[in-house]
Amino acid sequence: MKLEIFPVHHIPEVRPGMDLAQLLQDAIQASGLALQSGDILVVTQKVVSKAEGRIIRLAEIEPSGFSESIARELKKDARMIEVVLRESRRIVRMRGEVLICETHHGFICANAGVDRSNVEDADSVTLLPKDPDRSAWTLARRLGCGVIITDTFGRPWREGLVDTAIGVARVPPLADYRGKPDAYGHPMNVTVLATVDALAAAAGLVMGKAESIPAALIRGFPWEESDADIRVLLRDPQKDLFL
């Protein structure tokens, strides 16, 4: 397998209501690329959220007393905390200046994915797409390729951040090797690879964090079309040994 990852340049500042699929198509062509059968387009949630109008002005937020109490403890903006709580199903951990939440999608991440970075208005924040899978399918149907939507998450027990899949269309989220023989003929019993997370992390290396490259094209990865959604990657709480 020869895996190639191309950054997609020439994507303008995305604003609410813009046709993101068309912007991406134009940017792919301007980058000297052309979509081929089997290609996978990786897109950061930030541009998806902006196109879908998932932007909140903090000046319009009235924090609750609960938000203000958490803000005092974490030394954070109470308005920001209020937005985070609205985007959360539950608070998982709160320690120091860190607020880890479970979003309404089921993702466990810092601040429920509410983010101030790469937003023009310093008083605004972006939220995760309401339905990242639906957003991915909208792009996949328009562009005719596989699509992975990503966000940057921390990882338990490891330092550093990686790009992680939060929405997927056409690309199978998992590769199940259970029951297949390994190189020595022994059957594998537990090997299930999170392929879309691996592809998201790899694409993140060419997109960077300060280069304003919110999309990348992956070519050469073998996959068969699937209608599975991102929920297959969310571990059942009954299997969680640390709850």
**pLDDT above 90 (res 129):** yes
Q: What is the CATH number of the domain that holds 204?
A: 3.30.1330.100
Task: Detail the DSSP E strand segments found in 135-241.
Answer: 146-155, 158-169, 175-176, 192-193, 215-219
The pair of three-digit structure tokens given for residue 206, joined into one six-digit string: 């060419």
**pLDDT above 90 (res 152):** yes
pLDDT for 242 equals 75
Confidence of residue 60 (pLDDT cuts 50, 70, 90): very high
Q: Please give the Cα distance from 37 to 220 (Å, whole number).
A: 10
pLDDT for 72 equals 94
Greatest alpha-carbon span in the chain? 62
For residues 116 and 226, state if they share a domain: no
For residues 136 and 201, state if they share a domain: yes
Cα-Cα-Cα-Cα dihedral sign, residues 25, 230, 117, 87: positive
For residues 209 and 162, state if they share a domain: yes
Asked if residue 86 is part of any domain, the answer here is yes
Q: Read off the pLDDT of residues 61-92 as tens digits, 9 standing for 90 and up.
A: 999 999 999 999 999 999 999 999 999 999 99
For residues 46 and 139, state if they share a domain: yes
Counting the structural domains of the chain, the total is 2
Q: Please give the Cα distance from 86 to 219 (Å, whole number).
A: 38
For residues 212 and 151, state if they share a domain: yes
Q: Please give the Cα distance from 12 to 15 (Å, whole number).
A: 9
Asked if residue 242 is part of any domain, the answer here is no
CA R_g for the chain: 19
Identify the CA nearest to 3 among candidates 39, 56, 33, 45.
39
Q: What is the CATH number of the domain that holds 116?
A: 3.90.1660.10
Domain boundary residue, one of 100, 124, 148: 124
pLDDT for 97 equals 85
Contact call for residues 128 and 89 (beta carbons, < 8 A): no
Q: Read off the pLDDT of residues 24-49 as tens digits, 9 standing for 90 and up.
A: 999 999 999 999 999 999 999 999 99
pLDDT, the chain, mean: 94
For residues 115 and 40, state if they share a domain: no
Asked if residue 240 is part of any domain, the answer here is no
Pairing of strands 158-169, 146-155: antiparallel
Asked if residue 243 is part of any domain, the answer here is no
For residues 94 and 8, state if they share a domain: no
